[in-house]
Amino acid sequence: MSQRTSHGAASGPKILDGKTLSRAVARTVTAHVTTLSSKINRAPGLAVILVGENPASKTYVASKHRFAKECGLETFDSHLPASVTREELAAVIEGYNHNDKVDGILLQLPLPAPLDGSEFVRMIAPEKDADGLHPANQGLLLQGAPAPRPCTPLGVMTMLDLAMSDITLGETTTLADLPRASLAGKSAVVIGRSQLVGKPMGFLLLERNATVTFAHSKTTDLPGVCRAADIVVAAVGVPRLVKRDWVKPGAIVLDVGINRLPDGKLCGDVDYDDVAPVASAITPVPGGVGPMTVAMLISNTVSNCARRNGVVL
């Protein structure tokens, strides 16, 4: 991890390293898997459904699979051809809904046309929703009730905990070492209002008592809106949109965006080199929010397993 300063500028921002933080999640999840396995006589199970040959989807699925295995989960795989019919895909989901060894179902999105991802997400049993995207679980999020939360926003919240703590991540750090940040009195702006990231992100921030503004493509004076915030979350899909003069000195900047540039390199929605000098903490892209999304999917699956079996972790 990089050096930390609470003010940015002088000695540089705290770099929020998602890869290292995801190791802390893995240690916590592995311990929970051990506890659960001894109580229910099986490991928590994750079913991964991939449709078609989209290279990015294949990479994401492989990393989710690897993380699950590392933490001791049992995994189930269905790799279906892009030509799969609606009925065939529905039958695979239904099979996992009724398989008692499966606690989390991941349907990798996007699905190839003409399949509509949201239709199939709705077919997943809400208590087995690993991504936290089922409408029932999004409703429970609005109500503040226990349910799987969307993975990317959940990962961002853990990065925010890291940003606001004084701990240095080490080889034995677990999530138990990371205090939950209080956001009372803090203002946060979320740029983006998608079902996947922006909206649930805003509600997780609100749940922690932040004063939240949602910004989007119809927002006027986006730089001014961002400049008023203590916490900026960018989930837009526009390369390097957020510039230095959009960010209040000392603000925490969390970049969800993953954009591929014409030269093949990845970048975020934040102009990292421009913004880092004024931020107190910032996520890099790649290596920031991305690894945390994977970690939270596995964490959600283990939490689903505990909830389904009445085990308190």
Nearer to ligand NAP by Cβ, of 102 and 283: the residue is 283
| Residue type present at position 163 | A
273 is catalytic: no
259 binds ligand NAP (CB under 6 A): yes
- Token digits of residue 114: 């003409």
The closest residue (CB) to ligand NAP is 194
Report if residue 287 touches ligand NAP, rule: CB under 6 A: no
How far is Cα 244 from Cα 276, in angstroms, rounded to an integer? 8
Residue 180 CA, chain-centre distance (Å), reads 16
Active site residue 64: yes
The string of DSSP letters for 70-98 reads HTT-EEEEEEE-TT--HHHHHHHHHHHHH
Strand residue runs (E) in 23-175: 45-51, 74-80, 104-107
CB 171: neighbour CB atoms within 10 A?
Answer: 8
Binding mask 155-194 for ligand NAP (x = CB under 6 A): ------------------------------------xxxx
CA distance linking residue 179 with residue 289, whole number of Å: 19
Among 257, 275, 276, 303, binds ligand NAP (CB under 6 A): 257
Rounded to a whole number of angstroms, the minimum distance from the CB of residue 153 to ligand NAP is 9
- Residue 213 interacting with ligand NAP (CB under 6 A): no
Residue number, 36 or 253, with CB nearest to ligand NAP: 253
From 73-81, 93-101, 116-124, 232-240, span contacting ligand NAP (CB under 6 A) = 232-240
Question: Which residue of 13, 52, 198, 202 would you call a contact of ligand NAP, by CB under 6 A?
Answer: 198
Dihedral in degrees, nearest 10, Cα atoms 34, 79, 139, 31: 10
Active site positions, annotated: 64, 108, 131
Residues that bind ligand NAP (CB under 6 A): 152, 191-194, 196-198, 215-218, 222, 235-238, 256-259, 289-290, 293
